[in-house]
Amino acid sequence: MISSVSKKYTKALVDAIDSKDISGVIDILKFLSNCFNNEQFKYIINSPMINKDKKESFIFSLINVRDKKIINFIRLLNIKNRLNEIPFIYNELQKYVNIGNNEYELIIYSSFDIDSKSQEYIRSELSKRLGVSLFATKKYMEMEGIKLFVDGISLETSFLKNGFSNSLKKYILKAF
């Protein structure tokens, strides 16, 4: 979940770097974000027994950065004990770039399996109607039905079995 802290750091990073340098920053943050999948990496970053200077040296040993702004940004995260925010900052920065390119993420929540052909059809039709470029991600949900959510546009629509049944019951009862 994106926290308000990571949004603030992302905004500060976007304000500090040039738009031409943003792809390099994304690559660095993506690499560091992927490092958080490694348990040993997380142990080093989260360990109170390892001092901040060693954590900083460890991170800089993993990446080759020459840009002072990026170096200072990572140092600031380290000083403020916010290195764990790197994956969230990466996601938020990627979202910022996608919005700038008029690309949005379509999240398809469903309780059943949707084949890739149907998923592509939903994506293309919704993309046409909204006039934006969408890329789809499928996620499982417990409730029976389907729910579409476009992050960044705040569009959400759903067709849930329980909701349909309740609406149908209300409609039938109103008829009498």
- Domain end residue (candidates: 98, 120, 139): 98
Number of structural domains (the chain) is: 2
In this prediction, residues 144-155 reach a mean pLDDT of 79
How many CA within 13 A on the CB side of residue 148?
17
Domain span at residue 166 reads 102-175
What is the reported pTM? 0.72
pLDDT value, residue 161: 66
Whether 127 and 80 share a structural domain: no
Inter-CA distances, 166 with 12, 57, 115, 141, Å: 47, 59, 28, 20
Give the CATH number, domain containing residue 35.
1.10.520.20
When the pLDDT of each residue in the chain is averaged and rounded to a whole number, the result is 85
**Domain end position, chosen among 98, 124, 146:** 98
Beta strands in the chain (DSSP E): 103-110, 133-140, 145-151, 155-160
Q: Are residues 63 and 141 in the same domain?
A: no
Of 170, 11, 4, 19, whose CA–CA distance to 101 is shortest?
19
